[in-house]
Amino acid sequence: MSETISGRTSRMIRRARWPRRAADLRHVRTISGLVECRGCGLFQCMPSLQAGQLAECARCGQTLEWRRRTSPLQTPLAFCISSCALYLAALLSSLMTLNVYGRERTVSLVTGPMELLHEGWGEAGVLVGLVTIAAPAVVIGMMFAILYAASRRQMPDWAPHLLIWYEKLRPWSMIEVYVLGIFVAYTKLTDLAHVDVGPAVYLISALMLTMAASDSTLDTERIWRHRRVDSVTRMENGRRVEVDHCRIEDIPMPPADHLVACPACGLVGELSLPVSNLCCVGVCPRCDHRVWRRSPETLARTTAFLISAITFYFPANLYPVMTFFKIGGGGGHTIIEGAIELWQDGMIPLSLLVFFASIVVPMLKIISLSWMVGCTWRGTSFALVQRTRLFRIVDIIGRWSMIDVFMVSILVAVVRFNSLANVTANAGMVSFAAVVVLTLFAAWSFDPRVMWDAAGLNGPSPDDVGPAAVSAARPRHAAGPDSMEPRQA
């Protein structure tokens, strides 16, 4: 019995010290035809897909790969050229003209952020400027460069970094949310005075469609496959190791704890040792991105962002987001008052939309992410598939809460008629923008695979030195408890 316990103890301690043994690693093997689900962490064989086919995870239903029917380069290029032309035209044309008792004011896309800056709400002005003007321009430029790189026989070395940054920056281009913000602002303004919609509104609406089309026709998996895989790579300790290549059809399925997928390009590699979830493995031989089996410190970072978001949530809903002055009335509006006012004006669908995007979505994000973090800490397997699906929904709809921030930026820009009518932004808007951005960061720092790890459904891990194993091993060292090596995981 003591031999068994002794064997287990040494094995556990050896596993807990695994990162120090990374120096023993001699080679890495990349395996084509194998993919890891980013929703649940299950490694699966990927059949070659025909045009129009889509592969979903067998365990959680997440889309693994989708082969487009369209031409891989020409179609996104066509949409990208259209986006570029529409963007430049929208930037140079007027957004809307407001006529109050014969006095006119015309605004463009850049007026809103500039007015917020002048009013002293610099944080909100910079945020609106970044997500509606800078991010779309950067994303369109990056798309051109990626398509150019993909069209070359040998993909240039800068292209993988650009593709990684494109995927990170794409959610920050919020043209589609801005279009809805314009729509809400327009309905509020028609109450006040005569509004003429400028050409920029139509151009931005078209830009929203062309950007979505170029994004959905861009087949990133196909582009990654076009990139060569280096024969040598660098481990985290600086050591260089050789890289072999093989296909999953030619080898038996390796144990899951020896496999790791690159978080940027998805390339799957097999190591000769179990891979820790807690430390960086090395550099991807295909895209040069640092490879972690799981997002580092995912639970701690998500919890920190959630606590910050909850702190801002109360002032965001209690303080007015804007103050509307007009002859014969006006006053401060909180977010919920804005939705109620739309309802009273008979704009029921729009009122529900604002209520859902500004009140329900941030609350849903905070509650559901807290639930996911709590379940992961407890290691429960309750409703794992539903939790993973809920995470996908939360991740997608989070950006739509920016509608209210965009609406205020447009109203502040256009309604500036001194004593006749005036709109000013208030502290509630900055708090609300902070809630939206912090919940976006919380969702992006959460790695849903850790929910499946915690429930023990992704197989053994070198980090699993559970309390039971340590307490079972303790009697051997009963003479001197301090000599027992504490678990390091």
Binding site for Zn ion (CB under 5 A): 37, 39-40, 57, 59-60, 62, 262, 264-265, 267, 284, 286-287, 289
Query: 267 vs 436, which CB is nearer to Zn ion?
Result: 267
Q: Tell me, what DSSP letter sits at residue 69?
A: S
Query: 59 vs 105, which CB is nearer to Zn ion?
Result: 59
Taking the complex as a whole, the smallest distance from the CB of residue 275 to Zn ion amounts, in Å, to 15
Structure tokens at 123: 């944080």
List the beta strands (DSSP E) in 334-463. Answer: 421-425
Taking the complex as a whole, the smallest distance from the CB of residue 145 to Zn ion amounts, in Å, to 18
Q: Other CB atoms closer than 10 Å to residue 436's CB: what's the count?
A: 27
Sequence letter at residue 222: R
Query: 40 vs 142, which CB is nearer to Zn ion?
Result: 40
Taking the complex as a whole, the smallest distance from the CB of residue 375 to Zn ion amounts, in Å, to 17
Taking the complex as a whole, the smallest distance from the CB of residue 180 to Zn ion amounts, in Å, to 31
Sequence letter at residue 445: S
Query: 157 vs 196, which CB is nearer to Zn ion?
Result: 157
Write the CA distances from 328 to 10, 420, 421, integer angstroms. 81, 9, 10
Query: 248 vs 451, which CB is nearer to Zn ion?
Result: 451
Contact 450, 464 (CB under 8 A): no
Query: 119 vs 236, which CB is nearer to Zn ion?
Result: 236
CA–CA dist 342, 15 (Å, integer): 61
Taking the complex as a whole, the smallest distance from the CB of residue 287 to Zn ion amounts, in Å, to 3
Taking the complex as a whole, the smallest distance from the CB of residue 264 to Zn ion amounts, in Å, to 5
Taking the complex as a whole, the smallest distance from the CB of residue 489 to Zn ion amounts, in Å, to 24
Query: 132 vs 233, which CB is nearer to Zn ion?
Result: 233
Write the CA distances from 215 to 74, 84, 259, 341, integer angstroms. 13, 14, 30, 36
Taking the complex as a whole, the smallest distance from the CB of residue 135 to Zn ion amounts, in Å, to 24
Burial degree of 280 (CB within 10 A; 0-12, 13-18, 19+): middle
Contact 207, 134 (CB under 8 A): no
Query: 62 vs 458, which CB is nearer to Zn ion?
Result: 62
Beta-carbon contacts of residue 398 (< 8 Å; ≥ 6 apart): 361, 365, 436, 439, 440, 443
Taking the complex as a whole, the smallest distance from the CB of residue 38 to Zn ion amounts, in Å, to 8
Taking the complex as a whole, the smallest distance from the CB of residue 5 to Zn ion amounts, in Å, to 37
Query: 67 vs 392, which CB is nearer to Zn ion?
Result: 392
Beta-carbon contacts of residue 346 (< 8 Å; ≥ 6 apart): none
Beta-carbon contacts of residue 454 (< 8 Å; ≥ 6 apart): 375, 376, 377, 378, 379, 380
Query: 303 vs 458, which CB is nearer to Zn ion?
Result: 458
CA–CA dist 5, 456 (Å, integer): 23
- ∠ CA 127-290-256, rounded to 5°: 120
CA–CA dist 235, 26 (Å, integer): 10
Look-up of token digits 């996911």? 372
Element (H, E) at 331: strand 329-333
CA–CA dist 141, 377 (Å, integer): 42
Query: 66 vs 356, which CB is nearer to Zn ion?
Result: 66
Write the CA distances from 349 to 342, 345, 355, integer angstroms. 9, 11, 10
Sequence letter at residue 278: L
Taking the complex as a whole, the smallest distance from the CB of residue 271 to Zn ion amounts, in Å, to 15
CA–CA dist 50, 287 (Å, integer): 25
